[in-house]
Homo-oligomer: A and B are copies of this chain.
Amino acid sequence: MNNLPTIDISAFLKEDIGAGDLTALIISSSQEASATVVTREGMICCGQAWFDAVFEQLDANVKITWHCAEGDWVDAGAVLCELQGLARPLLTGERTALNLLQTLAATATQAHFYAQAVLGTGCKVLDTRKTIPGLRDAQKYAVVCGGCHNHRVGLYDGILIKENHIMAAGSIALAVERAKVIGSILLEVEVESMDELAQALEAKPTRIMLDNFSLDALRTAVELVNGRVELEASGNITLDNIRSVAETGVDYISIGALTKSVQAVDLSMRIDLEEE
Contacting A18 at CB < 8 Å: which of B5, B25, B28, B29?
B5
Rounded to whole Å, the gap between the CB of A209 and the closest CB of chain B is 13
A87 within 8 A of B: yes
Contacting A22 at CB < 8 Å: which of B6, B20, B132, B144?
B144
Return chain B residues, CB-CB under 8 Å to A161.
Answer: 23, 26
Would you give 9 A-B contacts (Cβ < 8 Å), ordered by A?
A: A1-B29, A4-B20, A17-B154, A18-B154, A19-B137, A19-B141, A22-B144, A27-B168, A157-B185
Q: Smallest CB-CB separation from A88: which chain B residue?
A: B4
Query: Which of A195-203, A238-246, A257-265 lies at the interface with chain B?
Result: A257-265
B134 touches A15 (CB 8 A): yes
Return chain B residues, CB-CB under 8 Å to A271.
Answer: 164
A186 within 8 A of B: yes
Q: CB-CB contacts of A1-16 with B at 8 A, as 1s and 0s?
A: 1111110101111111
* Number of identical protomers: 6
Q: Which residues of A contact B (CB under 8 A)?
A: 1-6, 8, 10-29, 31, 33, 58-59, 87-89, 91-92, 95-96, 98-100, 102-103, 106, 124, 129-138, 140-141, 144, 149-162, 164-165, 167-169, 175, 178-179, 182-186, 260-264, 271, 273
Interface of A is mostly: mixed
B92 touches A3 (CB 8 A): yes
Return chain B residues, CB-CB under 8 Å to A149.
Answer: 182-184
Q: List 4 additional contacts besides A6-B13, A22-B156; criterion CB under 8 Å.
A: A1-B25, A25-B144, A151-B185, A157-B158
B18 touches A155 (CB 8 A): yes
B183 touches A186 (CB 8 A): no
B261 touches A26 (CB 8 A): no
A3 touches B31 (CB 8 A): no
A167 touches B273 (CB 8 A): yes
A2 touches B29 (CB 8 A): yes
Return chain B residues, CB-CB under 8 Å to A6.
Answer: 10, 13-14, 17-18
A87 touches B164 (CB 8 A): yes
B182 touches A22 (CB 8 A): yes
Known contacts A13-B6, A102-B260; A155 and B58 CB within 8 A of each other = no
The CA-CA distance from A92 to B152 in the complex, in Å, is: 15
Rounded to whole Å, the gap between the CB of A31 and the closest CB of chain B is 6
Return chain B residues, CB-CB under 8 Å to A168.
Answer: 26-28, 31, 87, 273
Per CB-CB distance, the 3 closest pairs between chain A and chain B, nearest first, are A149-B183, A19-B140, A18-B156
